[in-house]
């Protein structure tokens, strides 16, 4: 069996999608990778679930300094009844700015513009229709882990730390900066030696 990027740790995912067939496809694909999935049929139900889990995580039996996010990711359909995905994201990020939010939309350009206008935090966008493995790979940060591996990072060590998405993205950004600096210094050193 081939291990995926996050096989070592089960993730907890909240999905808000009003199309029951799509919800079942998402749920099945994500659970196949041994992650826990909680679903909601609209934005209001999603917020209710999120608030309950947020309170339980912060103040209940599951409280832990290391565990401040009730979900590893919240996946929102952009167009939903009662409250749309953008409004749900706005409310979730208002109470928990570190929560990872992924918005699924057929109109990514419009959704991106909408998110830039209405949200003070970055969210991830995934364009519908998408292959279900693309969704799972996004949730598991497959691209980030691949890039870290290309930078000669020992992925097993990183995974052993059980990082959040935000932490591994920050690690990747910092390593990119270091690499760019190294390349600059190397090119400057070569230029100086050439002209001496």
Which tens digits make up the pLDDT trace of 35-49?
999 999 999 999 999
Residue 126: beta bridge partners?
104
Query: What CA–CA distance (Å, rounded) separates 83 from 80?
Result: 6
As beta bridge partners, residue 195 has: none
The answer, yes or no, to whether residue 64 has pLDDT greater than 50, is: no
Mean pLDDT of all residues belonging to the chain: 87
Give the tokens for residue 5.
């990027």
Residue 61's pLDDT is: 56
CB 127 within 8 A of CB 108: yes
Q: What pLDDT digit, counting tens, does each position of 76-105 carry?
A: 999 998 899 999 999 999 999 999 999 999
Return the beta strands (E) in 94-144 as ranges: 101-105, 124-127
More confident residue, 173 or 9: 173
pLDDT at residue 122 in the model: 78
Residue 105: φ, ψ to 5°: -150, 145
Residue of higher predicted confidence among 189 and 132: 132
Compute the half-sphere exposure of residue 40: CA atoms within 13 Å on the CB side of its CA: 25
Cα diameter, the chain: 70
In terms of CATH architecture, what is 12-140? 3-Layer(aba) Sandwich (3.40)
Residues 17 and 11: their CA atoms lie apart, in Å, by 19
DSSP per-residue string spanning 169-182: HHHHHHHHHHHHHH
């Amino acid at each position: 069996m081939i291990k995926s990027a996050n096989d070592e740790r089960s993730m907890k995912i909240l999905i808000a999608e009003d199309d029951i067939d799509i919800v079942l496809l998402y749920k099945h694909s994500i659970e196949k990778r041994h992650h826990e999935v909680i679903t909601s049929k609209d934005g209001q139900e999603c917020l209710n679930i999120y608030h309950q889990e947020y309170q339980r995580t912060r103040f209940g039996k599951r409280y832990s300094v290391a565990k401040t996010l009730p979900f590893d990711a919240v996946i929102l359909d952009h167009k939903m009844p009662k409250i749309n995905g953008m409004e749900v994201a706005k409310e979730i990020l208002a109470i928990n700015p570190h929560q990872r939010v992924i918005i699924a939309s057929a109109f990514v350009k419009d959704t991106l513009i909408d998110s830039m206008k209405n949200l003070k935090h970055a969210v991830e966008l995934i364009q519908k229709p998408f292959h279900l493995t693309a969704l799972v790979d996004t949730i598991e940060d497959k691209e980030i882990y691949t890039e870290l591996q290309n930078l000669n990072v020992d992925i097993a060590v990183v995974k052993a730390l059980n990082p959040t998405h935000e932490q591994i993205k920050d690690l990747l950004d910092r390593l990119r900066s270091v690499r760019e600096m190294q390349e600059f210094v190397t090119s400057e050193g070569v230029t100086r030696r050439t002209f001496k």
